[in-house]
Amino acid sequence: MIQHLDKSNFDSTINNNPVVLVDFFADWCGPCTALHPTLEALATDFEGKAIISKINVDKNPELAAQFKIRSIPALFYFKNGEIVGTQNGVHSKSVISSNLNNILKN
């Protein structure tokens, strides 16, 4: 299940889980909508191993500004509270899955 993050739960989620994927998105963004089913599938595939989450940039402008989000969708990969990778745009399930597996291994 995808977790929806905001200012109230962002830090605790990032810092209390070994691997977290954050998708910065907006409801009006076509590519963001296209990416959503992929993220849903990844949330199932990585249940118990990684947290798949989303942050709505329109509802959380302070988090969008903190991470200097200029285009969406923007994927941020966190490991032990630190950013270990980013991607902009829509990517296939296999690409994102491979990135998550590599982060889990290292």
Tell me which H or E stretch contains 51: strand 51-56
Q: Is 31 a catalytic residue?
A: no
Check: CB of residue 39 under 8 Å from CB of residue 52.
yes
**How many whole angstroms separate alpha carbon 16 and alpha carbon 24?**
20
Catalytic residue among 14, 32, 52, 74: 32
Catalytic residue among 3, 17, 26, 29: 29
Q: Is 96 a catalytic residue?
A: no
SS3 (DSSP) at 91: coil
Q: Which residues are catalytic?
A: 29, 32
